[in-house]
Structure 1
């Protein structure tokens, strides 16, 4: 279940600055349970990759959130890199705000690969990313670009959409 539960209209998680990325780390893990990837999204190594591109704001929080967990029977592995080419086999890709100035090129380079792109860069979803974290009254909220998800053959569950703001297509 997502942090704070999946309650329509409720705040997803109240956070302080100190634990904002703890909450976001748990969300990254939980997104895997609310998104369906096409079979072509997976390599033969039986792993599910959650990746961070750019400066890592999660520190150990992401590793702690996924420790010992599996998604769809696959072991979760965390990859971090400043080279996008090393992360193109990921299922979930968090784009750090350190990469905001190159966002257009990043999304272009990802292209139509079945990667769930996630970020807290302002206007990420409007720019073509799939899920954007934003804060509203100290609550972590979600904005989803359904057109971007459909374009890469990802299906987002109604339960996740219920607690998200949808970018108009």
Structure 2
């Protein structure tokens, strides 16, 4: 079963400058691989970026039946540490649409994951999961935000690829893929991207 995380009653959306700052902070630092706590810290950084990025994305008006309908966040992984990091990230009360976490362990199997994946609004493919699971990507015109820390994900049709550059967590954005799915991302977020892929190539 998914875990539902709701904002406090009456909570308002974050002021834009504070929300943007939270994303910038999330990207600012990732411990070096030699760090004693690098595995846990790496998982926390990824969960923070994925959840924060989602709050800057606008889905088509008919995606949700009501303001209280939760966004289904599906995490395909093979890491108990990552699963715990997402639980912790979503446990903190944050204004905005509630998110329902669907943890989808790779051990479940490709066929068994296909059915629940059809109900996701956001799919995150972690590098701990087999690369073949990216075959579960939805059709290009489906309003499903796809994110991954998988090499070449954005250039192969994924929307947001997390990359580590000089111990900092960055992201590449496939803007053409987002537009085909009728998903809008705030311009300020694109300025934080390492690369933006458009129909005509990279920016």
SS at 2:156 equivalent: coil
- Which is richer in helix? 2
SS in 1 for 2:27: coil
Deviation at 1:71, TM superposition (A): 6.0
Given that residues 154 and 172 in structure 2 are in contact (C-alpha distance below 8 angstroms), is that contact kept between their aligned partners in structure 1? yes
> How many residues are paired up?
163
TM-score w.r.t. length of structure 1: 0.83
Question: Alpha-carbon deviations, 1:70-122, whole Å to 9, x = none?
Answer: 564x321100224032022222110133231353x323x44422111000000
- Coordinate RMSD, CA, aligned: 2.5
Structure 2: tracts of 5 or more residues without a match: 1-18, 32-37
Q: Distance in 2 between matches of 1:112 and 1:70?
A: 29
Q: Please say which structure displays the higher CA radius of gyration.
A: 2
Which of 76, 88, 100 aligns to 2:131? It is 100
Deviation at 1:20, TM superposition (A): 1.3
TM-score (norm 2): 0.70
Query: Given that residues 117 and 136 in structure 2 are in contact (C-alpha distance below 8 angstroms), is that contact kept between their aligned partners in structure 1?
Result: no
State the SS of the aligned residue for 1:167: strand
Matched with 1:58 is 82
**Larger relative contact order (CA 8 Å, sep ≥ 6):** 1
Alpha carbons 2:74, 2:117 under 8 Å: kept: yes
- The CA distance in 2 between the partners of 1:52 and 1:70, in whole Å, is 19
Q: Runs of 5+ in structure 1 lacking a partner?
A: none
- Runs of 4+ with deviation above 4 angstroms: 2-5
SS in 1 for 2:99: strand
Are the equivalent residues in 1 in contact too, given 2:23–2:49 (CA < 8 A)?
no
Paired with 1:133 and 1:89, the residues of 2 have a C-alpha distance of: 23
Q: Flag the 1:93–1:148 CA change in 2: closer, same or farther, 3 A.
A: same
